[in-house]
Amino acid sequence: MTFHFSYKNVPLLFSGLVINTPGEMAGAFVAVFFLAMFYEGLKIARESLLRKSQVSIRYNSMPVPGPNGTTLMETHKTGMQQLLCISHMRPFL
């Protein structure tokens, strides 16, 4: 791959897609720009869905009797997940 500032016989992405005029070059620039924006939007949407579907983790502490009459704090991790959310119901719709 090389960079040059010519617009005649420039292959773009595939060998069958050749640019020969300045208008085709401008159109290709706009098309590739919007494809890149669409791809970035998909990545953001994927991250958002991933965050929504993650399990929320909470820690519950409770006092427990320890040796020699002392009190210890025991911490347990509890997870809660929404089972009736829209992402789980989507296959049935």
Distances (CA, A) of 22 to 10, 31, 57, 79: 11, 14, 56, 58
Q: Which domain holds residue 54?
A: 10-80
Is 24 a domain residue?
yes
State the amino acid at position 26 in one-letter form: A
- pLDDT-based confidence at 62, cuts 50/70/90? confident
**Does residue 28 fall inside a structural domain?**
yes
Query: What whole-number distance in Å separates Cα of residue 15 and Cα of residue 25?
Result: 15
Q: Quick check: is 90 in a domain? A: no
Residue 32 lies in a domain: yes
- Is the distance from CB of 86 to CB of 61 less than 8 angstroms? no
pLDDT digits (tens, 9 = 90+) for 14-54: 788 888 988 988 898 899 999 999 999 999 888 888 777 66
Work out how many domains the chain is built from and give that number. Answer: 1
Q: Is residue 3 part of a domain?
A: no
The reply to whether 34 falls in a domain is yes
Token reading at 24: 């085709």
User: What is the pTM (predicted TM-score) of this model?
Assistant: 0.50
Is 52 a member of any domain?
yes
CB atoms within 10 A of CB 19: 19
Residue 60 forms part of a structural domain? yes
